[in-house]
């Protein structure tokens, strides 16, 4: 009987996997789209599996809905914007136990664009003009007002900020001249450009460009007690960024493979692919660090962008204090590990894809 039990145990051990992957529930605050192609590339190419992670993605309708899920650890890693986490550190409030650990949207991607033939060429030229935004409560509006103040325009009296929503109605308002400028995010503007409407992006002052957008965040306990999991998560995503940069067309195709509803139907498929690649690359440019691919500091935050964001929230009356403890809001401690993989091998794998 003992020999039979030992044999059964041995067979069970041989049949079991060498190790179990860690399950990560990943929460987004936005819909499926080309802006998330690097994540889709990492999923389809198996980079999360390569880093011993089983990934489950859950979509939420905005950062305000996502953050409580991270705070209660229902979501392991989330992809929110930073503002509400900063605001939770206002005096008298209970700060959210959430910390950002990977700077994904490194360059502020809420642009201001005009039609190519517009006489408006700088932010200062927006005086007495109409700027179309999604809504007056959208997170980019305080930043837009701060940029206008920086060039001497009173955002309450010297310009008209008009809520026009998003989608076709907003695009038509822009094309038809109901607004003189459009203030939405990069993917929307790139879609307008590839659809045949020439646009021009107005230069944004450098201090505002340094404000981070949606980035990876986790509960303080996860960062403190299981940093290796987050290192591997960030590494897998970085591999997706490298692969997308190496083969943009495959990046779009694999995104369509994972999420078929992303792929436009009808029309010239070669043109659709080329346009989608252009949109994806415009967005990727805000996420890829500068420099050679083998020496980039993937995922690191700069303090200046956080300070600017805090000052904007104060100017807008949302925050009274400016001594927000940045060490509680973000960390670069895991950054050195995000790029620790065979970059040449990832590039070769990506370029081998059709």
pLDDT by residue (tens digit) across 199-224?
999 999 999 999 999 999 999 999 99
Same domain, 221 and 314: yes
Most distant CA atoms of the chain, gap in Å: 90
Output the DSSP codes for 224-238. Answer: HH-HHHHHHHHHHHH
Q: What is the pLDDT of residues 292-338, one digit of tens each?
A: 999 999 999 999 999 999 999 998 889 999 899 999 999 999 999 99
Evaluate if residue 15 carries a pLDDT over 90.
no
Q: Count the domains in the chain.
A: 2
- Measured CA to CA in angstroms, residue 132 lies from 24, 173, 209, 230 at distances of 38, 8, 20, 38
30 vs 179, residue with greater confidence: 179
Buried b (16+ CB within 10 A) or exposed e, 218-227: bbeebbeeeb
Please, which residues bridge with residue 216 across strands? Answer: 102
Mean pLDDT of 122-147: 93
Both 234 and 131 in one domain: the answer is: no
CB atoms closer than 10 angstroms to residue 68: 13
Model pLDDT, residue 138: 81
Question: If you average pLDDT over each of 28-37, 163-172, 280-289, which comes out highest?
Answer: 280-289
User: Is residue 55 included in any domain, yes or no?
Assistant: yes
Alpha helices per DSSP H over 247-342: 248-258, 269-284, 303-315, 326-329, 335-338
In this predicted structure, the answer to whether residue 12 has a pLDDT above a threshold of 60 is no
Has residue 17 got a pLDDT over 60? no
CATH number reported for the structural domain that contains residue 69 in this entry: 3.40.190.10
- The yes-or-no verdict on residue 2 having pLDDT over 50 is no
Burial pattern 303-315, b for ≥16 Cβ within 10 A else e, equals eebbbbbbebbee
Tell me what pLDDT residue 19 has: 63
Residues for the chain: how many in total? 354
For the cut 70, the answer to whether the pLDDT of residue 4 exceeds it is: no
According to DSSP, residue 131 is labeled E
Average pLDDT over residues 178-186: 95
The answer to whether residues 200 and 179 touch, using CB atoms and an 8 Å cutoff, is no
Domain boundary among 151, 175, 209: 209
Contact between residue 73 and residue 221 where contact means Cβ atoms under 8 Å apart? yes
Domain identity same for 324 and 311: yes
Flag whether 4 is in a domain.
Answer: no
Whether 8 is covered by a domain: the verdict is no
Q: Show the domain range for 133.
A: 113-209
* Per-residue pLDDT tens digits for 138-174: 878 999 999 999 999 999 999 999 999 988 899 999 9
Residues 235 and 263 in one domain: yes
Residue 12 lies in a domain: no
Residue 14 lies in a domain: no
Contact 320, 311 (CB under 8 A): no
pLDDT at 9: 47
Q: Within this chain, do residues 227 and 313 fall inside the same structural domain, yes or no?
A: yes
How high is the pLDDT of residue 139? Answer: 78
Nearest CA to 289 out of 280, 281, 298 is that of 298
When the pLDDT of each residue in the chain is averaged and rounded to a whole number, the result is: 92
User: Please, which pLDDT band fits residue 5 given cuts at 50, 70 and 90?
Assistant: low
Q: CA 312, 192, 211: angle at the middle one, nearest 5?
A: 20
pTM, 2 dp? 0.89
pLDDT higher than threshold 70 for residue 112: yes
What's the pLDDT at 6? 47
How distant, in Å, are the alpha carbons of 44, 261, 317 from that of 253?
10, 12, 45
Q: Kindly state the DSSP code that residue 34 receives in the 8-state scheme.
A: G
Instruction: Verify that 222 and 193 share a domain, yes or no.
Output: no
What is the mean pLDDT of the segment spanning 43-65?
A: 95
The percent of residues in the chain predicted with pLDDT above 70, rounded, is 95
pLDDT of residue 279: 95
pLDDT band at 271 (very low <50, low <70, confident <90, very high): very high
Q: What is the pLDDT of residue 140?
A: 87
What mean pLDDT is predicted for residues 35-63?
96
């Amino acid at each position: 009987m003992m020999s039979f039990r030992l044999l059964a145990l041995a067979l069970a051990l041989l049949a079991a996997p060498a190790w179990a992957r860690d399950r990560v529930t990943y929460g987004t605050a936005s819909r499926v789209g080309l802006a998330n192609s690097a994540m889709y590339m990492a999923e389809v190419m198996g980079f999360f599996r390569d880093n011993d992670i089983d990934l489950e993605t859950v979509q939420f309708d905005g950062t305000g809905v996502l953050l409580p899920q991270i705070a209660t650890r229902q979501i392991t890693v989330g992809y929110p914007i930073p503002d509400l986490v900063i605001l939770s550190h206002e005096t008298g409030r209970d700060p959210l136990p959430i910390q950002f650990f990977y700077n994904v949207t490194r360059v502020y991607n809420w642009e201001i664009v005009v039609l190519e033939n517009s006489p408006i060429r700088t932010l200062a030229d927006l005086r007495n003009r109409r700027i179309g935004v999604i809504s007056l409560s959208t997170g980019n509006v305080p930043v837009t007002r701060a940029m206008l103040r920086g060039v001497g325009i009173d955002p309450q009296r010297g310009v008209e900020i008009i809520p026009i929503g998003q989608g076709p109605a907003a695009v038509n308002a822009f094309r038809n001249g109901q607004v003189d400028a459009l203030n939405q995010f990069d993917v929307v503007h790139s879609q307008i450009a590839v659809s045949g409407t020439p646009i021009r992006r107005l230069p944004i002052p450098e201090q505002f460009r340094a404000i981070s957008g949606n980035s990876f965040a986790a509960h303080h306990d996860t960062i403190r007690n299981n940093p290796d999991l987050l290192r591997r998560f960030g590494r897998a995503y970085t591999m997706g960024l490298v692969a997308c940069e190496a083969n943009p067309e495959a990046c779009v195709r694999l995104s369509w493979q994972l999420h078929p509803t992303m792929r436009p139907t009808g029309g010239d498929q070669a043109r659709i692919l080329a346009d989608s690649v252009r949109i994806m690359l415009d967005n990727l440019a805000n996420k890829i660090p500068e420099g050679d691919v083998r020496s980039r500091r993937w995922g690191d935050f700069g303090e200046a962008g956080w300070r600017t964001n805090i000052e904007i929230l104060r100017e807008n009356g949302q925050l009274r204090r400016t001594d927000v403890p940045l060490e509680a809001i973000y960390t670069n401690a895991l950054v050195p590990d995000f790029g620790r993989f065979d970059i040449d091998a990832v590039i070769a794998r990506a370029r081998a894809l059709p």
